Chain A
Amino acid sequence: MSTYQEFIQQNEDRDGVRFSWNLWPSSRLEATRLVVPVSCLLTPLKERPNLPPVQYEPVVCSRANCKAVLNPLCQVDFRAKIWACNFCFQRNPFPPSYAGISEMNQPAELMPQFSTIEYIVQRGPSAPLIFLYVVDTCLEEEDLQALKESLQMSLSLLPPNALVGLITFGRMVQVHELSCEGIAKSYVFRGTKDLSSKQIQEMLGLTKPAVSGQQGRPVAPQDAAAASCKFLQPVHRVDMNLTDLLGELQKDPWPVPQGKRPLRSTGVALSVAVGLLEGTFPNTGARVMLFIGGPPTQGPGMVVGDELKTPIRSWHDIQKDNARHLKKATKYYEALANRSAANGHSVDIYACALDQTGLLEMKCLSNITGGHIVMGDSFNTSLFKQTFQRVFSKDYNGDFRMAFGGVLEIKTSRELKVCGAIGPCVSLHSKGACVSENEMGIGGTSQWKVCGLNPSTTLGIYFEVVNQHNAPIPQGGRGAVQFITQYQHSNTQRRIRVTTIARNWADAQSQIQHIESSFDQEAAAVLMARLGVFRAESEEGPDVLRWLDRQLIRLFMFHLRRSPFLQVFNNSPDESSYYRHHFVRQDLTQSLIMVQPILYSYSFYGPPEPVLLDSSSILPDRILLMDTFFQLVIYHGETIAQWRKAGYQEMAEYENFKQLLQAPLDDAQEILQTRFPMPRYIDTEHGGSQARFLLSKVNPSQTHNNLYAWGQETGAPILTDDVSLQVFMDHLKKLAVSSST
């Protein structure tokens, strides 16, 4: 723990937590002056190969409104077999099973290295995982074929006992019955009619009149399971059947007249999917996987009409309040998302189309329920195929890297309150002593539901120091926060992961240097960016930029300002939604990449090295590799490109050139292998049309406006009106000086 750097790294590795400040100002006033709030990035399910779960249940504080879990920070009286809660100071006796406890014989949760510990809970029946495919059939033959193959392939990746279901839609919505033999049966819904959950369940024959309402439970799980088996079947049983069924899927047969879009009932299809799961497997981990090849064009949730002459809404339309369907559709999908979240089901959206598909309206489905969004040009691309495959990737234990139905609860010391969270979660509206009235992100609660989780899912949590200015440094000098995450593991076990961390309080006046040095620049940048994005989602664009400018944060902000997370220029509403979606759920490293892309340089002059994301880095004799998270660009400088064209790499004597060409490719592969979703992979060269991806990211230090760079060997000029970092910095400095105004 020599430096903060190491401390931060260690904490992150152990607990999956990074705080913006690692020393906390001891009073509200001081905290406010720091601009960047006390906040953290939490990765609840961070992979911990060295953390075997314990096979018992956590011991919790007996105070009704506390229920904090026993942790290493608690004071324990081994003689009296009593422990004191470090949050509410309640003294609790150990349960009988802890009778043998002693200083020498401590349970894991009391050991400091187990500040994060995972319990396996044996309560209740374990429910199988459920995967419900919702497939758009209004696709080009080629796309549909590719999609069908991907889906068929995915069946082999599912655990054999997982339940699968299939809903297809176009003009109509078809729920396929999987249990039958002989004739393939499906239930059909009209794509234009908004149906209530009850109606859907009735129409699917899921409700047994006598069962409901008897014991206050809508449907007895057993019966429901039996009834639902028509539509949701264990993979091992319907493998063949479903493969055939998928193979026979036809393009939506309804004719599409000239000048029209195909009628696509995405809204109803989702409604049926949600209704089906709601009726059959409430509060069970389930994943609705929606594959769409275009925007919803009819019925509830319609994003654009079927007239091709009416283009789908753009940011311009939205700003002019000219998007007729936007609000209605958004409201519709939000309602669906909330229902789905309430039942613990997450919704993935795989949208592959050249035009927009309505992600803007539908994003909430994934954002709220913790589902994935993947956007591509076609289902017949490796981007989609491999990304989809990666959804089913497994960890070192052979378990899926996914978890369901997570509930995150946060306990804080008295001096600290929770303002909110930003991430793929939804509020459970649990008020408590530690809930601040000041909301940041999704606030007003100390519990959030995170329906879909994976090891990289990261939430930003924001706190408020409530200690009064004149009050002394709180008791013990440390503040503590406990994160309790209950979830369904992909092997169907229920688990609880508990992370308890503590930080020292510091008096801002006397220990300002300490506080400054405890500042985690990266974490803070990401946390602030999340706040910005969250605001961008709910407020007008320029206002957000202004707010951000006011919050000024060093370098990152320059790129953030130019990033698609805040800038909608040159991005469609769908793209913005897509980028933002990923930004608010990725861990710190990935988030940083998103904000400030990484640029590596490969040349004969030395080993590969990171270079400034600046136009001056673009040189003829270099190969550049840029990783923006969403794109992976390999850029061959002018000279390199010429050499390559001349075929030197094929000559034995230029083996080194060949290696040089190969090096960025290998590195790119490495990134491609691990990244989810898979980035767009671009191999281009100087003057190539795709070079724009690079040019749009670099700092335009040389543009057509500053002549000095013209024609020199120092880089490539960028044709833009954006200000360069230099100008930005100058401006910032000016502002900083006159900040008092």
Chain B
Amino acid sequence: MNVNQHTPMASPYGQPQPGYGQPGYPPLDGGYPAPYAPYNGPASAYQPGVPPQGYSPFTSFPSKAVAANPVSDLSSPLDLGPARGPPTSAPPPVSAPQQYNQYSHSLGDVQNGPPPMTQAPPRPAGSQPYNQGAANLTGAHPSYPQHYGPPPTMEQVTNQMTRMQVTSGPPTPAGPGYAPPQSSQPPISTSYQAAPQPSYTQAPPPVSSTPTQPPSSGGPAAPQQYFAGPPPPSQQQFASSLPPTSQQQFTSSVPPPPSQQTFPPSSFSGPIPPPSRAPAPPASQSQQPFPTPQPPFSSAPPPVNQSGFAAGPPAQSSFPPQPPPPSSQPGSFPPPGPPPTSAPSGQYPTPMPHQQQPPTTQPSPYHPGPPPLRAQMPPTSNHLPPGPQGPSCPPGPLGPLQQPPSPQTGYPPQQNGAFGQVRSPQPGYAGPYPGQPNYGAPAPAPAPAQKRLDPDSIPSPQASDMPAVQKSRHRIDPDAIPSPIQVIEDDKVKTTEPFTTGVRGQAPPLVTTNFQVKDQGNASPRFIRCTAYNMPCTSDMAKQSQVPLAAVIKPLATLPPDETPPYLVDHGESGPIRCNRCKAYMCPYMQFIEGGRRFQCSFCNCVTEVPPHYFQHLDHTGKRVDCYERPELSLGTYEFLATVDYCKNNKPPQPPAFIFLIDVSYNAVKSGMVSIVCHELKSLLDHLPRENPEMDSVVRVGFVTYNKVLHFYNVKASLAQPQMLVVSDVSDMFVPLLDGFLVNVNESRQVIESLLDQIPEMFADTRETETVFGPVIQAGLEALKAADCAGKLFVFHTSLPIAEAPGKLKNREDKKLIGTDKEKSLFQPQGGFYNNLAKDCVAQGCCVDLFLFPNQYVDVATLGVVPVSTGGSIYKYTYFQAQTDQERFLNDLRRDVQKPVGFDAVMRVRTSTGIRATDFFGSFYMSNTTDVELAGLDCDKAVTVEFKHDDKLSEETGALMQCAVLYTSCSGQRRLRIHNMAVNCCSQLADLYRNCETDTIINYFAKYAFRGVLNSHTKAVRDTLVNQCAQILACYRKNCASPSSAGQLILPECMKLLPVYLNCVLKSDVLMPGADVSLDDRAYLRQLISCMDVAETHVFFYPRLLPLVKLDSSSLPMAVRDSEERLSKGGVYLMETGLHLFLWVGASVQQELLLNIFGTQSFSQIDSSMTSLPVLNNPFSQRLREIIDSFRAQRSRYMKLMVVKQEDRTELIFKHFLVEDKSASGGASYVDFLCHMHKEIRQLLS
């Protein structure tokens, strides 16, 4: 269960996936024996989250025999290796973890089975086994139910305990039941149902069930039944569809996220219901065994699962036929499953092709009917159906016949309907079946907060059972460890309502989830994300936990169109109202006293007079009457209009200017860069940033070209032709002209166009290869100084500046230094010239964006100093070729020019007494310890701020922070943007761990580490990270987890992905470069990441990998984990990292896919040099391009599409991003790292 906690979420997926995978296989297997393996892989991918659960189920299967084992198994998965302890977990986990496990188990088993057992067996077995499996499945199914039982426990710790016990009780029976499962699938279903039912009954379920039930009953139930009939379905369902659907349903029904997770299980149970038909009771029993077996999954159980899965496929095949009957039902199913299922459903049609699809496919087969059902209202439908269906033995009959299919079908339905069904049925079932109660017990438990506590406690009990299994294992099943995909998907499912910021200390949905934000007094997570929403009250606690206290602030973040941009508040000539002492700005936290005549600052407690013009009476609660009419009194984010007191020299600022500085040396001209830039600028200048789209931009523009001398251009409107002014005195740069250099685009359009036409011609024959760089920035800076305005320089540069001039650089690239103590010097700039220059730039509000087009070493570490210190960006196009890189460059340029930006900004973070901001990471300059100065600040730049205690915090008041950014808008208006954020404070470490955000922590760690390489050896930096991470987890284990065997790895629910993400950070090119990674690349990444927000770091470190099977028009296929194992030779995958976009094509890719995507007949005809997909008139192609476009739109940098053919040379690049695998540069695989982490933790604990 170690994993459990995490897994809970995942498990459902995982399970279903495996299921799908299998089903898919069947179809595939016909053609592709290999696919199985892949399928398994994919399945696992789905399972990622699920796997653990799934595994556990599997284990449970094997364990079935040994009722006790399952428990141990549970633990073991968590333990990864050592997890013997699990036994202990077993009981508790049983409740929650187990559930997940179970769910996942069902699927996971398959997966687990495959992986550990090895895919080999599963696959072969795959097709054939499935049939057998059918039988097995039946058996398995029961097991699932059992799992379900456990899952609930998983979910809710507190409840778990009690329930755990309960469950544990049942488990044993389940154990026996497991055995039976095989005998009768129904039991499984029942078991499932039982499990869910309890949960539902216990908490929200009822509600959800009621609503959901109707639909579910209508459709899903039926299908499920059919499918369900076959036990396997239950498993499959769980695995694949269940999680999503269930979650969603649950969420709907039960708001609390944790509970949601539990729901999945319930959902599983839902599916089970069908099985419940008859076996239900036995199922419960069987289920129990499953849970126990789960731990074993890794070892023994798998086979069972596998077999089951194997059977699955065939079953699927059989299913397909079934679909018709289910069709009616399917209808119902579809609703539930829609999102996840939909994909599967798509797959079904093309089931074979996708390995990943398999998982989906499985559901899909069912889905054909079911998918829709799922989509609609899986839960409800399930619920309802379960009852009826369950009872309606039809499945039963079908089951036997269709057993194989049924499992598949069952899975899908389970998934879809599972939840729903489970619920409804569960209640009923629960009652009826002994197992149910157990499940029920667990389910409720989960709701409370299972994840946190459960995991720990649960695993240990179960662990006892597992030992045998564990021993048998030789390696850890990747599916058994926390899956990022699972977590992401679970969060998506549970996020159904807009996130309101009014509740203090509430963690927002993950960055990967789409959600709407309603500002109710705290800043939107789009502006501020914290590592912890419950800060420890004392520094001792903070020190003990080692959890970094940081906030990632993106002050000018762009909001989606459906959210209101910050209001602009004008407090009149006297400027914004502020606290007299700490100068905090008026905000919702200020307490008005004395009838509104004064207010008390909540940051420093100082009392300040309310100016007469701002006076307002208070109502009976002490709130100002106009509280809701004033943004600064009711919102978390708003802007003040600044007065001249806030301006440089007490003078209102001039509108900013953009200056384009273009390298025209030989390389720049030859690569085509010059002509591309010039051509593009002609149209781009119409899109300069403006606040009012109706008005012309007030931003003025200027142009400079350079090689080793600089050429300024006079483009004054009155000239017939532009004039070029050459400045060769680069040693002492100055601006040769004033009037006519910075011009309004509209007024000088003709001259500018003439200039841009002529620049490429003028330098077409240049032979100058040397360039300068320092003087170029100086020139821009001087120009802005002369015009007395802030602005931005766009520098297009190609080579190492070796011409005689200030800022001249030497080539110092020396690979021999890598890995030595001197390596750090390579990240440091050469000399102090650029640091000083940066300081001057910041003082003037001169932001520098650097576009690099290097063919060799250009010393990004040095050239980047100014951009990084001025809040600018660096773009790098190594070996730039017009044909292939033009698109990326132009899109970057367009976005960079057009994006909203502020200038001459100063950011200050104020905090309430007790903590203070101590460290800042990002692209900016600091001349003192508190003010972050940003010459330019655009909508993509984030600053990570670290807080430290300087006193005690109180739980009552929490901790407040106010981020004020003073900046000049692109229209030349001076403004203050205020972000307020309040978080809770806790005196219990458990609360801290419960309200963390791993993605944000990783953002902090990455920035911390990447800054660390400037001063320390990379190895030391890595060790520090590992060490801190181990301390965090060990502290949790020691202080928050329920006692369990030392061999267990217990991770806090909120941080269960910490190891995998941390491993990604450690393996990054910066910290562990491969042989082919240039120094420039590392420096580039280092600087790039320093200003990334959480969403960007997340996808950068853990790329999104999407299987392209069936593309639904409304949703994306569910991602798979970044591991080669998850890739199917027959599939096509899309991967995005935020910087790169890959389309990986399997060697035996389906022809239909080829036709749809590339319009070619064979794999060999694919042109891997293409950077955009052919425009084909088929829905698949259209949708795929849509997806690609949408990905690109989400990122601040344009991602060039790279088509990677399997086993092609370029695949190496792609594999580099499969971050769960061992990397070529020696980075550990996820599994290995987790073991390592576990070892570290144990060391700390002992």
Contact = CB atoms under 8 A, between A and B. Distances in A.
A650 interface: no
A188 B719 CA distance: 19
A592 B734 CA distance: 52
Contacts of B724: 183-186
Contact of B727 (A183, A188, A255): A188
B721 A253 contact: no
Interface stretch (A66-74, A202-210, A491-499): A202-210
A501 interface: no
Contacts of B709: 203
A184 B722 CA distance: 7
Nearest to A199: B729
Interface in A181-207: 182-190, 193, 195, 199, 202-205
A342 interface: no
B726 A182 contact: no
B758 interface: yes
B734 A204 contact: no
Interface stretch (B153-161, B422-430, B735-743): B735-743
Given A248-B719, A253-B740, A186 B725 contact: yes
A80 to B, nearest CB: 65
Contacts of B723: 183-186, 248
A189 B720 CA distance: 24
Nearest to A253: B739
A204 B711 CA distance: 13
A195 B729 contact: yes
A312 to B, nearest CB: 26
A172 B736 contact: yes
Nearest to B726: A187
Contacts of A185: 711, 723-726
Interface in B310-347: none
Contacts of B711: 185
- Greatest chain A CB density within 10 A among B713, B726, B732, B739 is at B726
Interface in B727-770: 727-729, 732, 734, 736-740, 755, 758, 761-762
A193 B758 contact: no
Interface in B668-717: 709, 711-713
A180 to B, nearest CB: 8
A219 to B, nearest CB: 18
A202 B728 contact: yes
Interface in B500-532: none
B767 to A, nearest CB: 12
A195 B734 CA distance: 15
Contact of A183 (B721, B728, B732): B721
Contacts of A254: 738-739
A485 interface: no
A616 interface: no
What band does the interface of chain B fall in when counting residues whose beta carbon is under 8 Å from A? 20 to 34
A436 interface: no
B758 to A, nearest CB: 5
A202 B728 CA distance: 8
A174 interface: yes
Nearest to A192: B734
A115 to B, nearest CB: 54
A255 B738 contact: yes
A390 B727 CA distance: 36
Interface residues of A, number: 24
Nearest to A183: B724
A187 B719 CA distance: 18
Contacts of B729: 189-190, 193, 195, 199, 203
B738 A182 contact: no
B755 to A, nearest CB: 7
B212 to A, nearest CB: 73
A548 B615 CA distance: 91
A184 B721 contact: yes
A182 B758 contact: yes
A102 B258 CA distance: 132
Nearest to B737: A253
Residues of A contacting B: mostly: mixed
Contacts of B720: 248
Contacts of A199: 729
A184 B740 CA distance: 14
Contacts of B758: 182-183
Nearest to B768: A205
B739 A183 contact: no
Given A182-B758, A183-B755, A183-B758, A174 B725 contact: yes
Nearest to A182: B758
B65 to A, nearest CB: 88
Contacts of A189: 727, 729
B736 A188 contact: yes
Interface in A241-260: 248, 250, 253-255
Nearest to B728: A203
B737 A172 contact: yes
A474 to B, nearest CB: 62
A172 B725 CA distance: 11
B734 A190 contact: yes
Nearest to B736: A188
A187 B711 CA distance: 8
Nearest to A186: B725
Contacts of B712: 188
Contacts of B755: 183
B762 A188 contact: no
B726 to A, nearest CB: 4
A262 to B, nearest CB: 13
Interface string A73-97: 0000000000000000000000000
Contacts of A203: 709, 728-729
Interface string A157-197: 00000000000000010100100001111111110010100
Contacts of A188: 712, 725-727, 736-737
Contacts of B713: 183
Contacts of B725: 174, 185-188
B436 to A, nearest CB: 86
A205 B727 CA distance: 11
A358 to B, nearest CB: 23
B736 A174 contact: yes
Interface in A349-382: none
A183 B722 contact: yes
- Greatest chain A CB density within 10 A among B722, B727, B729 is at B729
A203 B734 CA distance: 14
B728 A182 contact: no
Nearest to B722: A183
A733 to B, nearest CB: 66
B738 A204 contact: no
Nearest to B710: A188
Contacts of B728: 187, 202-205
A182 B732 contact: no
A335 B1183 CA distance: 78
A15 B261 CA distance: 119
A188 B736 CA distance: 6
A203 B805 CA distance: 12
Contacts of A193: 729, 732
A182 B759 CA distance: 10
Contacts of B732: 190, 193
A168 B734 CA distance: 17
A418 B722 CA distance: 59
B753 to A, nearest CB: 13
B433 to A, nearest CB: 88
A195 to B, nearest CB: 7
Nearest to B740: A253
Interface string B445-461: 00000000000000000
10 contacts: A172-B734, A185-B726, A188-B725, A188-B726, A188-B736, A193-B729, A202-B728, A204-B728, A248-B720, A255-B738
Given A174-B725, A254-B738, 6 more contacts: A172-B736, A183-B723, A184-B721, A185-B723, A203-B728, A250-B739
Interface of B: 709, 711-713, 719-729, 732, 734, 736-740, 755, 758, 761-762
Closest A-B pairs by Cβ, 3 of them: A203-B728, A253-B739, A188-B736
